[in-house]
Chains A and B, each alone.
Chain A
Amino acid sequence: MIVEVGHYALVLALALSIMQAVLPFWGARAHDARMMGLARPIALTQFAFVALSYAALTYAHVVSDFSLVNVVENSHSTKPLIYKISGVWGNHEGSMMLWVLILAMCGAAMASFSRAIPPRLFADALSVQGVLGTAFLLFILLTSNPFTRLIPAPIEGQDLNPILQDPGLAIHPPLLYLGYVGFSIVFSLAAAALIGGRLDAAFARFIRPWTLLAWCFLTLGIAMGSYWAYYTLGWGGFWFWDPVENASLLPWLAGTALLHSAAVMEKREALKVWTIFLAIVTFSLSLLGTFLVRSGVLTSVHAFASDPRRGLFILAILVVFIGGALFLFMLRASSLKQGGLFAPISREGALVVNNLLLTASCAAVLVGTLYPLLLESINGDKISVGAPFFNLTFGPLFAPVLILAPFGQLLAWKRGDLLAAAQRLFFAAGCGLAAMAVFAAVNGAPVVAFIGSGVAVYLIIGSFVEIFGRVFPSGLGATKNAFARARGLPRSAWGTAFAHAGLGVTLLGLAATGWGVEKIVAMKQGDIYDVGPYQLEIVALTTDQGPNYSETTAHMTVRRDGQTVALIAPSKRFFSTRRMATAQAGIVTLHFGQVYVSIAEPNAQGLIDARLYWKPLVSLIWIGALIMAFGGTLSLSDRRLRVGVARRAARIPASAQTAG
């Protein structure tokens, strides 16, 4: 019964989405305020129905209703509750449901929190959101219906892929989808602005909070996915340049560019056309990612099932939305008025350079991701484009961003002084060089590792130079009122500093992987192995029974200079329903580095094949991402960015007004 309610709610949501697509748009053309006014209640109701439907599916998973194909194929009565709930999106149909749920949520959020947006733009934007909802709800109902029944119902389900039975599944997909789909709001607003043909600085104020929000979630989602892969795949890698990962990196790069160009547009009314273009491109890349992952053109742990109809349907959605938006852009772009002037050496100029480098690196990743697919469809050759390609292209294109980021913060709007900015960065550059020398002396080769670390230190310190200059305008001696000045600075200035510094922290973690130690050994109880500065020993081997798996665990001590500093317990789990094993790495974080051990089943002689790693500073990779998202959140809390309160910003002390 509840399942039928859920199914019916989904169909109603489709009907509502069609209404949301048509009525406000029509109202805006017919100058009918009542029809335009329908946009908000329809968006909210549509969200309610999608949520109801989603809840019904979750209920079916929780009570193990095996009369649903979706539950049979992906659940098992002994599965722990958390995986029954998160397992809802651990399969194709359910993950599309989550997609649509978040899409509807974005529509509802836009409807609720964007009251300052001009009514016509607002109606058109929600209407575009409605078209998106219609397309994806149709996709679910026609090709991927999670409510399909199975009669007669089997007694037991086939269980969820063990790799997905991990807390990572509860966190990574929702965060990533909030990022991906969050950009739909920006896309809808951009499309609506193009339809309306009017574009001013206020537009940038409308899209900036949504861009920031989606960007923060996407940053966290990518970082979480990477950490999950790192601890679950058992060989210590965290980024594989796999097409599925690239699919999430592409909108991140475009979204980062958008964030920066929207700042220029808001402050100076320049780069308007470019900002609109990026808004379209960013969400288009999210759609492309969905296509790559969900259509089955790639094989990966993310491609749950492949059915050619699904691939074609998503491809059609992709073509219609990206093609439609770009066509609209082509028609209207020339009629948009040019904005403010600026000298090449200025904050705007720096942000243009940032945008160029980010989009160029984004394009390089795009080519590397799509080229194999293209080549295979043209002449059937199968190739893989791996890390060497991306290191050669993405690396050099992104590296200047790391050097130039602090410069951008120090240049004034309109016309900046490069020499003065460089002088203010002397200290940061000095620290970077010193760090480089120290790292080279202590840790030695590889060269990339200590150069990267030096650049990272420069970037972290350089990110705060601008803030420092404003908190201590006359040097460290004048500490009077420093705290008040720090508080008075706009949150977005702090946000920028933290986000840039977070990038530096991530870079430091990445560079330090060069000093990692890896050992592959056949261990038995009592053997002691050195990994980096630590000694590892297996003290006991146990076999346990989990809820739906059996587990062999090696209990190991981690010692340094004779002192036990930690205990780790890498294990191997065997899931009987799917006859499949997973490795649970034993990890301990010591001084931001990690000792990482993964084991295989003991063999006939009682030896255990094990991979032992010491990864110095590796946790900084993800801590950096957290700092970036924290910076984004700080910016988001800046009152200037909140839609509708822009006028009140004038009350902030004049000294704090020059900030970006």
Chain B
Amino acid sequence: MTRKQKRLALIGSAVGVLGLALGMVLFALRDNVVFFYGPTEMVEKHVGPGVRLRIGGLVKTGSLVHLAGKSISFDVTDGKAEVPVAYTGLLPDLFREGQGVVAEGALDKKGVFQADSILAKHDERYMPREVADALKKQGVWQEGSAGAAEKTAGGAQ
């Protein structure tokens, strides 16, 4: 092969591999991306059963029910709308009523969100950003509330 042909072969194979990579990326992005919704958005978008989602909001006070075994049910709220959630398994340490939560799973036919994983915040001061944004959208979140909590927790300022 001449120098030119060699270079063409090299560039050709590079374009081939990168094209393949691009194809795989696009294919995977179509089916393996999980959207995040707040309860209001879920109602607005008429999400059907079986679509994998992440939902976030606050665990509604008084809605947490412990069922048989390790099953629980609770409502996720953003102050405007609520979504009932069912989950079986161990809960994160900081999962509590009135606190922020993110659940991943899908709606079943009855409109109950069957979660297969529950994320709660890492510590008292931190609210999942997605949850904060969802609450802000509904006007429930007050900028001061987190800051005030921080100050009392710190007691320094």
Contact = CB atoms under 8 A, between A and B. Distances in A.
B9 to A, nearest CB: 6
A363 B22 CA distance: 9
What range describes how many residues of A lie at the interface?
A: 35 or more
Given A158-B153, A520-B70, A579-B124, A360 B90 contact: no
Interface string A581-614: 1010000000000000000100000000101000
Given A356-B14, A357-B17, A158 B32 contact: no
A307 to B, nearest CB: 13
A262 B30 CA distance: 37
Contacts of B153: 158, 578-579
B6 to A, nearest CB: 7
Contacts of B129: 299
Contacts of A368: 25, 28-29
Interface string A558-592: 00000000000000000000111101000000000
A384 B34 contact: yes
A158 B6 contact: no
Contacts of B25: 363-364, 367-368, 393
B140 to A, nearest CB: 17
B36 A158 contact: no
A381 B90 CA distance: 29
A385 interface: yes
Interface string A122-152: 0000000000000000000000000000100
Q: Which of A72, A73, A353, A356 has the most CB of B within 10 A?
A: A356
B154 to A, nearest CB: 5
B29 A341 contact: no
A648 interface: no
Nearest to B88: A520
B90 A389 contact: no
Interface string B17-28: 110110011011
B146 interface: no
Nearest to A384: B34
B123 A578 contact: yes
A433 to B, nearest CB: 27
Contacts of B155: 154
Interface in B90-140: 90, 93-94, 122-126, 128-130, 133
B69 to A, nearest CB: 9
Given A154-B155, A382-B133, A388-B32, A600 B90 contact: yes
Contacts of B94: 580-581
Interface string A361-378: 101100110010000000
A609 B33 contact: no
Interface residues of B, number: 41
Contacts of B13: 353, 356
Q: Which of B21, B70, B133 has the most CB of A within 10 A?
A: B21
Nearest to B132: A299
B29 to A, nearest CB: 7
Contacts of A580: 94, 122-124
A360 B33 contact: no
Contact of A356 (B17, B27, B34, B128): B17
- Could you tell me the dominant secondary structure of chain A's interface residues? mixed
Interface in B12-68: 13-14, 17-18, 20-21, 24-25, 27-29, 31-37, 54
A383 interface: yes
B154 A393 contact: no
Given A299-B129, A363-B18, A383-B33, A392 B28 contact: yes
Interface in A314-351: 341, 344
A157 B157 CA distance: 11
Nearest to A392: B28
A158 B10 CA distance: 58
A162 B93 CA distance: 13
B36 A382 contact: yes
A53 interface: no
Contacts of A235: 90
A392 B27 contact: yes
Contacts of B154: 72-73, 158
A384 B27 CA distance: 16
A609 B91 CA distance: 9
B24 A72 contact: no
Contacts of B20: 360, 397
A134 B156 CA distance: 33
A396 B24 contact: yes
B156 A72 contact: yes
Contacts of A72: 154, 156
Contacts of B147: none
A386 interface: yes
Contacts of B18: 356, 360, 363
Contacts of B130: 299, 382
A237 B31 CA distance: 24
A301 interface: yes
A611 B28 contact: no
Contact of A341 (B3, B70, B123): B3
Nearest to B2: A341
A18 interface: no
B35 A381 contact: yes
A353 B13 CA distance: 9
Q: Which of B18, B124, B154 has the most CB of A within 10 A?
A: B154
Nearest to A271: B10
A73 B156 CA distance: 9
A600 B21 CA distance: 43
A383 B10 contact: no
A344 B54 CA distance: 48
Contacts of B36: 382-384
Nearest to B3: A341
B93 A301 contact: no
A235 B89 CA distance: 12
B19 to A, nearest CB: 9
A522 B91 CA distance: 13
B155 to A, nearest CB: 7
Given A363-B18, A364-B21, A382-B35, 7 more contacts: A162-B123, A352-B10, A363-B25, A371-B33, A382-B36, A581-B94, A611-B90
20 contacts: A154-B155, A157-B156, A158-B154, A299-B129, A360-B17, A363-B25, A364-B24, A367-B29, A382-B133, A384-B34, A385-B32, A388-B32, A392-B27, A393-B21, A393-B24, A397-B20, A520-B70, A581-B93, A581-B94, A600-B90
Across the A-B interface, give the 7 residue pairs with the lowest CB-CB distance, nearest first: A382-B36, A360-B21, A388-B32, A392-B28, A154-B156, A299-B129, A389-B32
